[in-house]
Amino acid sequence: MRRVLEEIVFRLSMPAHTGQPKGDLSHRPATFSADKYDEWRSESLRDQFEAFFDWSLIKNKRVLDFGCGTGPLSLLCAQHGAASVIGVDLSSKSIERARASASNQENLTFVLEESTQSISVPDHSVDVIVCFDVVEHVMDYEAIVREWKRILAPGGRILIWWSVWWHPYGHHMHTMIPLPWVHVFLRDESLFRICARIYDTPQFKPRIWHFDDNGNRKPNPYQGRVVFDDLNKLTIQRFDRLVTQCGLNIERKQVDPFTGSSFAALKRLLARALPDFFCSCVVYQIQQPQSR
C-alpha cells in the first residue's frame, strides 16, 4: 500500500516539473537564484514582522536574532533602531555571507554557534529575541527554550513566527512535491524516496541548494535518507507546555488561518479546532517575568 501511495504522489507531483503551468509554490523564481532568494527572503521577513509586530518592540533594545541565516532580519532590526543586534546561526557559510552583507552596520554582530543546545551570550544580556521561520528546525528545542530563558533580561520578550510541522506544507518539500499534507499519510522515508526519484528525472530543474560552492550539481541529496534530521515535528501544544514549564509567559499567541477570502469563515473555524493542521503560521510574543 505504501508503494502505491508513493507512486500516486510521484505522478501527481511530476506535472509541476514538466511542461505544465508552474505555480509559485513549486517554481518560485527566488529558488533558482541566490541573489533573488536573498531579496525575496528580506522582503518576506519584513512583511512577516510588520504584519504581526511593531518595530517599536526592538527600538533601543539589545536584540538577538536566533537562527539568523544570512542575516536579513538582523539587518532590518539594526536599521529600525535596535541598540545592538547579534545574529547567531549554526551554518558557517550563512554567517560568512551575513558578515559580508552587513560589514558597514556598526550595531550588528554575527556569531557562529558550535552547539545545538546553547547560545553563546551572557545571562540576562538580551532584551528581545526574534525567531522567524526557525522553530521547526530547532532539534534540541527543550535546551534552546531554557537558553532563551537564561539570556533574556527581566521583562524581555521573544517574538516568534513559526510554520508548524502539520501545516499543509510543513514537510518543506513543496518545490519537489507541491502537494498539501502528504506527510500526514506518508512516512519520512517515502517522501525522501519520491524526492530522490524526481531529482533524477530529466525534467527536474535543480534549485540553488542543489549545487555545491563550485556550481556543480550535487549527487542526489535525497537518496538513502529515511528520516528528517532538520525538522523537529514539534506541535503547538507541546511548545506551549514547554514555554510555561521553563517559566516564561505567553503574552500573545496568534494562530493565523490560510489566507484568501474564499471560505474565510470555515478556515478560521478549522484553524481554531485543529490549529496544527489548518494554520498558515503561528505567532508568539513571549515574556520573561520582571523578577529573576
| pLDDT tens track for 140-183 | 999 999 999 999 999 999 999 999 999 999 999 999 999 999 99
The confidence score (pLDDT) of residue 110 equals: 97
Among 225, 173, 186, smallest CA distance to 4 is for 186
Structure-model confidence comparison of residues 131 and 37, the more confident one? 131
Among 64, 56, 54, smallest CA distance to 84 is for 64
Q: Check whether 124 has a pLDDT greater than 80.
A: yes
The confidence score (pLDDT) of residue 3 equals: 87
Q: Count Cβ atoms below 10 Å from residue 100 Cβ, excluding itself.
A: 11
CA distance 225 to 70: 26
Q: Phi first, then psi: give them for residue 261, nearest 5 degrees.
A: -85, -20
**8 A C-beta contact, residue 66 and residue 88:** yes
The confidence score (pLDDT) of residue 1 equals: 82
The number of angstroms, rounded, from the C-alpha of 73 to the middle of its chain's C-alpha atoms is 12
pTM: 0.94
CA distance 197 to 7: 10
The confidence score (pLDDT) of residue 292 equals: 55
Tell me which CATH homologous superfamily contains domain 50-166+230-287: Vaccinia Virus protein VP39 (3.40.50.150)
Q: Count Cβ atoms below 10 Å from residue 146 Cβ, excluding itself.
A: 18
High-pLDDT (> 90) share of the chain, %: 80
Residues linked to residue 111 through DSSP beta bridges, in sequence order: 88
Among 118, 151, 140, 162, smallest CA distance to 288 is for 151
Q: Count Cβ atoms below 10 Å from residue 43 Cβ, excluding itself.
A: 12
CA distance 6 to 13: 10
Type of residue numbered 196:
A
Structure-model confidence comparison of residues 268 and 186, the more confident one? 186
The confidence score (pLDDT) of residue 265 equals: 84
The confidence score (pLDDT) of residue 281 equals: 94
CA distance 212 to 222: 15
Q: Check whether 118 has a pLDDT greater than 80.
A: yes
Domain boundaries, the chain: 50-166+230-287
| pLDDT tens track for 241-268 | 999 999 999 999 999 998 766 777 888 8
Q: Check whether 9 has a pLDDT greater than 90.
A: yes
Q: What sign does the dihedral 187-67-76-35 (CA atoms) show? A: negative
Give the mean model confidence (pLDDT) for residues 210-219: 94
Q: Check whether 238 has a pLDDT greater than 90.
A: yes
| pLDDT tens track for 67-113 | 999 999 999 999 999 999 999 999 999 999 999 988 788 899 999 99
| pLDDT tens track for 38-54 | 888 999 999 999 999 99
Angle at 280 between CA 275 and CA 284, to 5 degrees: 70
Burial of residue 203 (number of CB atoms within 10 Å: 0-12, 13-18, 19+):
exposed
End-to-end CA distance of the chain: 55
